[in-house]
Amino acid sequence: MDFASQILKWYRKEKRNLPWRSTRNPYLIWLSEVILQQTRVDQGMDYYLQFSEKYPDIEMLAEASEQEVLKMWQGLGYYSRARNMLFAARQLMSEFNGVFPRDYEQIRKLKGVGEYTAAAIASIAYGQRVAVVDGNVKRVISRLFGLKNTGNDLYKKVKQIMSEQINFQPPGDFNQAVMEFGALYCVPKNPLCDHCIFFDHCVARKKALVEKLPVKVPGKKPKPRYFSYLVINIREENSIVMRKRNVNDIWKNLYDFPLIETKKALSAEDLQKEPAWDVWFGKEQQIRGSSGLYRHQLTHRTIIAQFHFVDKSSISELSLHENWEIIALENINTLPLPRLIERFISTYYPSEYSDI
């Protein structure tokens, strides 16, 4: 079986027409790879087009504010990607004179750039013979060659096979071909085995292991976190209090509302007994009303949130605490927000957040 030649022949005939495939600009290839980490192509396409239009080169991205970048990233999740991308753009300007490095090891020095991303950029933009290994590649290689390894052992074995196969092929096209085949044919569930170009050679198909490879290692069950959000309305100002999350936690540097986190969901009555409530409002302040429960799933956490409405007549009645900001309702849509907060605002303040 001439795996490399066959998959390249398939790729040149069947590949999708994606904008980052029409360029060898390392900046645009890097941008696409960052966006497509943990993101489907159909979801990431609009983000790539918007970013590449607003920030067409390294210098323009480096000059952007973090709030601007996070706002454009809003909805993609895994926001550390956006923060790292901005940091790396500034790193490119300060350490590399705004020129994207050509060497794999130099590319690896950029903030947030791991082995996979560096290999993709080096091979696609510069033709370096560095093999990529991502989820699609692992799936294709493990099934085709019948690999039952797991974890780092699987990574090493797949890397070895890919490195052997890439030696006599155009590196960028070969890497993209294997990834594309995993995205279109050798998909996680119900792969298109009957139409597969490797039908006669696939070890997993011959041994009825297609659904079992690559071997799945049970992940940790997501832990619940309980958020009681305080939606503080200032009526005379037509404003609301929001908080910038500036600690090393989920949604860093995005905006949500002041919150009290507890080990279980609290009723409005119990929430008003929490020590933070007394510090912020005193015993006389009452909750006007509450939303239903919102559930938001993250990779390792399940957020169970409820929003409680607190009314203030004017700013003078309110003591602002750390990271609290008074935001005019008409300006809410300028802030980078977690998807959970978007969902809430689009329901309770639809006219002010009409672009959701």
pLDDT averaged over consecutive 10-residue blocks of the chain (356 residues)? 92 96 96 94 96 97 97 95 98 96 96 96 96 97 96 96 92 97 96 95 96 90 96 90 93 96 95 92 90 94 96 78 90 94 90 51
What pLDDT does 318 receive? 74
CATH class of 223-348: alpha beta
Residues of the chain with CATH 1.10.340.30: 3-212
Question: How does DSSP assign 225-246, residue by residue?
Answer: EEEEEEEEEEGGGTEEEEEE--
**CB 27 within 8 Å of CB 62:** no
What pLDDT does 284 receive? 86
What pLDDT does 208 receive? 96
- The pLDDT tens digits of the residues spanning 60-101 come to 999 999 999 999 999 999 999 999 999 999 999 999 999 999
What pLDDT does 356 receive? 35
Residues of the chain with CATH 3.90.79.10: 223-348
In the CATH scheme, what is the homologous superfamily, with its name and number, of domain 3-212?
Hypothetical protein; domain 2 (1.10.340.30)
HSE-CB of 29 using CA atoms within 13 angstroms: 24
List, by residue number, the catalytic residues. 33
- What helix, strand, coil percent values describe the chain, rounded to 5? 45, 15, 40
Write down the pTM of the prediction. Answer: 0.91
What lies within 8 Å, CB to CB, of 52 at 6+ separation is 19, 28, 31
